[in-house]
Chains A and B, each alone.
Chain A
Amino acid sequence: MRERVKLDPVSLTSGAVIAALGALVLLDSSGGLDVSLGWMAVALTGAAGLILIVSGLAGERDGRSG
């Protein structure tokens, strides 16, 4: 019988967020978009915040189930 693999929401969210940040850097570097430092700071802190929130929620859920 095949073992059911558990989906890790933290890795999934972090991967999506980091890929989105990479896309933003790509657009800015290739000249497709001119992102100011202020907006980049907003994007970076927002990304870090989202990762921390998901990590916190996942940790809480693991704590309850574990």
Chain B
Amino acid sequence: MNDETPTIDDPGSERPDSAEPKRQAGRPPRRLLRSSSDRVLVGVAGGLGRYFRVDPVIIRIGFGISILFGGIGALAYLLLAIFVPTDGEPDRAQRLGGRLSSLGFWRGAGMVALAALALAGLFGLAGGAAFAVALGWGVLVAIGVIAIGAVLGLTALRGGARWLIAPAVALALGAGVAAASDLDFRGGIGKREYRPLSVRAIPAEGYRLGIGSLDVDLRKLGWGKRRVVRVRVELGAGQADVYVPSRVCVTGPTHVGAGESQVAGERNDGLDVDHSAGTGVRSTPRLEIDANVQLGQLRVINSDTARIDDPDYGPGPMHEDAAPQRAAEARACANG
């Protein structure tokens, strides 16, 4: 007999004056089961909604939001999908849960650890492919991906090799993202600070860094009244900061492959962030910048007081208001 079955089912225990237990006798025992009828993925939200008598849509929204906060909701969903049975025909998740339960705790934990290790391996493969592309071996990596794809296709004639799909996709993913974002780590790794005192000290090919922090402080430069300075900044991944005096008008194109650009108080973020500051403006003194950050943050800071050694300086939701920089930029570019 099921432990959860109400004892009122026992004919000997029924009393004529107990109306409430009679009503309960017809109901099935309340048990958390995944829903086979109200399901989007495997019926976890549908089952929880029925159990707690809440609209499953609210639970789905809750899971969606919780994924944004460290992914704990995704983990909870996965565990519920595997270990909570469905109210219909046993599905794949339930069979997996049954298999894991039959293994016992330690073997089950070992299996989970192995799966986590495999996942980490896939991340490693994707990262390795991206790194190789960023180091300039993009063509070789691409040929490797094509070769793996061809081998996988050929194995289809002999029953297939589906185990090869996940690593091949991880390789293609890492290589594709690195190639499309033009990641270039060949400029070195680390922290670089430049404080040129004259225009001649600015390298013609510009300032370049592969990965890390690149600071270019142009505030000690002899700007004069009519000076126009051209600077090129290239960064693979990390943060690039260019500091100019508040009276200098900043113009020119900037590009961020993935991340954020804050140019003279204007903030943009996302993928392929292109910005063109002060198009057509001829005010002097003027900085004509050509900056390209593939992954990370680019800041062009119009401020006489910002400290180069303060990594938290600058406009943004967590730091200083961008309005003073926008005002400084507007004044500088308006004065011819």
Q: Contact residues of A with B, CB < 8 Å?
A: 5-12, 14-26, 28-30, 35-41, 43-44, 47-48, 51
Contacts and interface: CB of A to CB of B under 8 A. Distances in A.
Which residue among B141, B157, B179 has the maximum number of chain A CB atoms within 10 Å of its CB?
Answer: B179
A25 B172 contact: yes
Contact of B172 (A10, A22, A30): A22
B153 A11 contact: yes
Interface residues of B, number: 41
B177 to A, nearest CB: 6
A16 B142 contact: no
Nearest to B270: A38
A30 B175 CA distance: 13
Which DSSP category, helix, strand, loop or mixed, fits chain B's interface? helix
B142 A22 contact: yes
A39 B180 contact: yes
Contacts, number: 135
B228 interface: no
Interface of B: 133, 138-139, 141-162, 164-165, 168-169, 172-173, 175-177, 179-181, 257-258, 271-272
17 contacts: A6-B159, A8-B162, A10-B160, A11-B160, A11-B162, A12-B156, A18-B168, A19-B145, A19-B150, A21-B145, A25-B175, A26-B146, A28-B180, A29-B138, A41-B271, A44-B173, A44-B176
A46 B320 CA distance: 40
A51 B160 CA distance: 14
B271 A15 contact: no
A20 B141 CA distance: 13
